[in-house]
Amino acid sequence: MVRLVLLPVLAALRGVNEMKKLLTLSAAVVIAHSANAELQALDDAEMSSQSGAGLGFALQDFVFSTDDASLAVTGIEDGTGNEVGIKWDQFYIMGEGSQNGAVKKPVDIGSYLHPWVVRSVRGSSDWDGDPADFYTGDAPAIGDDVAALQILTDVYTSAAQNTRQYVMDCIFASAGDCGQRAAIRRSGADIGSRFTLDFADGTNHVWNIDMRGVYLDGSGFTLWSRPDDSGQSELLGQLNLSLLAEEFQIDTCGDACTGTGSLLQIDQVYLGLNLGFGDMQPLKFSATSDGNFVLELSKPDPSSRGVDPSDRDAMLAFFNEYYANAPKSDIYIGEITVGNRTAGETVINGFRAQYLKATSIDL
Amino acid sequence: MRLQDVGPVFVMSGLILSASVCALEPMTDRDLSDVSGQAFITIDTSSYNQGSGNWSGDYEFTKVNLGMELETVFNIDELRLGRFEREAYVDGTVPITDDNRNILYNPDGSAQVYDSDIIIEDFALGRVDNHDDAANAAYVPFMARNPFIELAYKTENGQKRISGVRVGFDKAQGDLSGDLISVTGIVEGEIRGDIQVVYDNNCSGWNALAPNCLLLLASSDKEIYTQVDLLDGATGDGADRLNTTYLKRASWFGVPTGRNFQTDETGLIASLIPTLTRSSDCEVLGTPACFRSTIYQSIYIGDKGTDFESGSASGVFLSVQTESVPWEDLSGVPGSDRVLTDSGAFMNISRYQSGGETKYPLYLTLEEATRGTPRVATCVGRIKGC
C-alpha cells in the first residue's frame, strides 16, 4: 500500500493556497491522478485495483520552504563531551532564479515525459544468454533470477538535457556545441539551507549554503537481496548519483554581515558517483552486534557469474570484464573563490573503488 | 533516559508531520530507552591567533570527526587539485624542467609551470598481491581510522570567511601509488645506506686516487643518512633557499642544496662526512642528489610489516585554501605546532611520531633513491590502469 505522505507535510509547511503544486502520478499503469494540493492518500482497496511494475511521479510548479520552521539536531558532542547545538533552518527547494530562496519561483521535479520512478524490475542479465546483453537493460549486471527495487530520477537522452553527458562533454571536455547546449538546457532547482553550530565555549559558526541550478537527472538507487554466505537474506544495493550545481555558495558571515567579500563561491560542482555494480560488486549494508554500522563495497565477486575461482584464465577474464564495464566516478569542483582569493579547480577523474569497507566506531 | 544516549535525534519544531505510512508506529520512551547509540560524529572548534606574517590574524576552525575504520583499494585515473595560474619563482612555485634539469620556456619567454598544484595520474590507495595470477590475487587494503573534515575561517574587520578546508585521517597505513607529476606541499623521506655505494658510483679508475675517494674508501663501512624533500630540479634548491615554507608544483625530490648526510658513527673520518657530503646543485660528491618525483611510483604510508596500531602514520592530510591557513599539526612530532599553508592545494605526507620515535613516511636506500621505487600492483591482471 502506498500513501502519499509528501503532500500533507508540505501543505503544513507552506499553506495550501501558496503551494500551487500539481503532483502527477504516472506509471506503467498510469495513475494520472492529479490534483491541486488536496491529494488524497490511496487506500488499500484503491491500490489493489491497480497493477504494474512501477510508479512514476512528477512535482510540477513545486515550491518548498520551511519559512520560520527549524530543525534541531541534538546528541552530537565535541571531543570533550559537551553538547554541540546544531540548528537547521531556512531550507528551501525552488526554481532557478529564486535568489537564494528569497523569490518563491516554482520548479518542476520530473515531468509527464520524464518522471521520477519507483519501480520493481527483474534483473536484466541473463548470464547464460548473449554476453552483448549482460550490461544493458533496466537493471544491468543483476541476474534475471531476482527482482530489484529502483528509485530513479528523470532520464533524458538529449545531449543537452542529459546532465552526465553535458558535464562529460562540456566541463570535463570542450565539445564544439557546448554554447548551444547550454542555451537550450532546461533550468534547474535552487536548494539551500542554513546550519548554525553553537559550542559550549560560546563559539558560534553559521554555514549558509545555497546551490543554484541543481540537476539530479540520471540518478538512481537500486536495492535487491540475495542469500549471504550463511544463507540469510542480505540486502544489496547500488547507488548511481549524478548531481550538478551550476553554482555553490557558502556564507559564514551570519546575520551580522552580508558582505560579498566573505562569500565562498564555486562555479559548477559535479558529483558523478557510481558505487556498486550489480551482482558483480554490490554495496552491502549491515550492523555489528555492538550497534555500529558497516557499509561495504565488496570485492568483485566471481561467484556472481559462476566463475571457478581457481581457474586463472576465467578469473582474469572476469576481472577484465569488471574493469571494462563497471562505471567509474567523476567529481568536478570548479574554481573556489572568496572575494578575489582563489583555491583553483579540482578534478577527480575516473575513480573506482575495487574494495571499500567502512565500519563506524565509537569516538 | 538522556537524549544523548540515542545518538543524533532530529526534533522538528514548527512542522506537523500529519500523515503516517502504513503501520509505522512512533516509538515510546520505553522503546527508545532500549536503544543505545554510538558517538559516531563529534565536532570540535578551536582558534589560533599566534601566527606571524601571512599567518597572522584571527583564525577559527571547525573539525568534524567521523568515528570510522576504513579499508579500501581504489584507483583514480587522474587527480588534479588547485588548478589556477601561477608564475615560476613566485611564492615558491618552481618551473617545469626536462630530464636534464633544463627549464622549459613558453613562447613568450616565461618559464613553464604545471597548471595544477597537485597532479597525480593513476593514483591508487592499497595494492593487489599476486596480481598476475588472477586466481590467487589478494587485495591488501589501505587502512585509515577516523577520517575528518576541517574548515578554517579567518575573521577580518568583523567579517568571518572560509579560508580553507582539509580532509585527513587520525591514522593511516598502506600503499599510496601514482605518477607524481606535480606536487605542492610537504613530502618528506629519509635516505639511508652505506657510504660504499657512493664510493662505487664515483671512484672508478683514476678517480679512486682523488682525495675525496680516498676518504670515502676509509669510511666505506659507515652508514649515512639524510632527509629528502621536494626541491627545484633546475637549481637543486629546497624551500628554505626559495624563502618559502614549501614548494609549489614541484616535480623533483632529493637532497636540497646545502644539506649534508649524517652518520651516527664517531671518529675523525665520521666527523668529515657532513662536510664531504654537502649537496650542491643536485650533486653529492658527484653523485646525483635530485630525482624525478615520478620515479617513486609507490610510497608506503606508515611502517611496513607492523600492525596498524603501532605502524600507522598520523598527520597525513590534503587541503585547499583560498588564503594562508595555519593548520594544526596532528603528526605528534615533539615541537610541532602548525602546518603553514598558502592559497591553493596542499598535500602533507611528513614526519610523524609513532612508538616514541619520529618516523618518515618514506624510507629509501641509496640505490632506491637513484632508481626509484617500483609501483605495487593496484589491479588484478595488470599493474595499473584499471
Please list the residues that pair with A266 across neighbouring strands.
A248, A336
- B38 or A308, higher pLDDT: A308
What's the longest Cα–Cα distance across chain B? 94
Burial (CB count <10 Å: 0-12, 13-18, 19+), residue B24: exposed
Please give the mean pLDDT across all residues of chain A: 86
Torsion of CA A12, A17, A18, A21, to 10 degrees: 90
Count CB pairs under 8 A between chains A and B: 263
The predicted model gives B41-54 an average pLDDT of 95
| Inter-chain touch A354–B146, beta carbons under 8 Å | no
B61: Cβ contacts below 8 Å, ≥ 6 apart: B44, B45, B46, B47, B48, B150, B151, B152, B153, B328
Taking 80 as the threshold, does the pLDDT of residue A256 lie above it?
Answer: no
What digits encode the pLDDT tens for the residues A138-193? Answer: 999 999 999 999 999 999 999 999 999 999 999 999 999 999 999 999 999 999 99
- Closest chain B C-alpha to A339 CA, distance in angstroms: 9
| Inter-chain touch A361–B38, beta carbons under 8 Å | yes
Q: What are the domain boundaries of chain B?
A: 71-144+175-371
Q: What is the DSSP string of B134-170?
A: TTT-EEE-EEEEEEEEEEEEEEETTEEEEEEEEEEEE
Q: How confident is the model at residue A48 (pLDDT cuts 50, 70, 90)?
A: low
Taking 80 as the threshold, does the pLDDT of residue B19 lie above it?
Answer: no
Between β-strands B189-194 and B362-365, what pairing exists: parallel, antiparallel or unpaired? Answer: parallel
- B143 or B223, higher pLDDT: B143
Taking 90 as the threshold, does the pLDDT of residue A240 lie above it?
Answer: yes
The ipTM is: 0.86
List, in sequence order, the alpha helices (H) in B29-182: 29-33
> How would you classify residue B158: left for phi > 0, otherwise alpha for psi between -120 and 50, otherwise beta?
left
| Inter-chain touch A205–B10, beta carbons under 8 Å | no
Q: In the prediction, which pLDDT does A315 show?
A: 97
What digits encode the pLDDT tens for the residues B53-78? Answer: 999 999 999 999 999 999 999 999 99
Calpha distance A358→B295 (Å, rounded) = 32
Q: What is the DSSP string of B204-269?
A: -GGGGGSHHHHHHHHTTT-EEEEEEEEE-TTT---TGGGTSSSEEEE-EEE--TT---B-S--SHH
Q: In the prediction, which pLDDT does B282 show?
A: 93
Q: In the prediction, which pLDDT does A30 show?
A: 31
What is residue A319's three-state secondary structure?
Answer: helix
SS3 content of chain A, % helix, strand, coil (to 5): 15, 45, 40
Q: In the prediction, which pLDDT does A122 show?
A: 93
- B385 or A22, higher pLDDT: B385
Taking 70 as the threshold, does the pLDDT of residue A38 lie above it?
Answer: no
> How would you classify residue B251: left for phi > 0, otherwise alpha for psi between -120 and 50, otherwise beta?
alpha
Q: In the prediction, which pLDDT does A37 show?
A: 43
Q: Please report the sign of the dihedral spanned by the C-alpha atoms of residue B235, residue B239, residue B241, residue B244.
A: positive
Across A123-137, A233-247, B1-15, B349-363, the highest mean pLDDT is recorded for A233-247
- Closest chain A C-alpha to B253 CA, distance in angstroms: 24
Contacts of B153 in chain A (CB under 8 A): 205, 252
Q: In the prediction, which pLDDT does B30 show?
A: 67
Interface of B with A in 19-48 (CB under 8 A): 19-22, 36-45, 47
Cβ atoms of residues B291 and B364 within 8 Å: no
- Model-level pTM greater than 0.80? yes
The predicted model gives B239-267 an average pLDDT of 93
**CA closest to B72 among chain A residues:** A356
Instruction: Kindly state the cell numbers that stand for B162.
Output: 572560509
CB atoms within 10 A of CB A363: 16
The predicted model gives B19-28 an average pLDDT of 52
| Inter-chain touch A76–B69, beta carbons under 8 Å | no
Instruction: Kindly state the cell numbers that stand for A320.
Output: 577484465
Taking 50 as the threshold, does the pLDDT of residue B16 lie above it?
Answer: no
| CB of B155 less than 8 A from some CB of A | no
Cβ atoms of residues B245 and B239 within 8 Å: yes
Q: What are the domain boundaries of chain A?
A: 63-359
Calpha distance A127→A279 (Å, rounded) = 11
Taking 90 as the threshold, does the pLDDT of residue B125 lie above it?
Answer: yes
A20-34, A159-173, A321-335, B57-71 — which is least confidently predicted?
A20-34
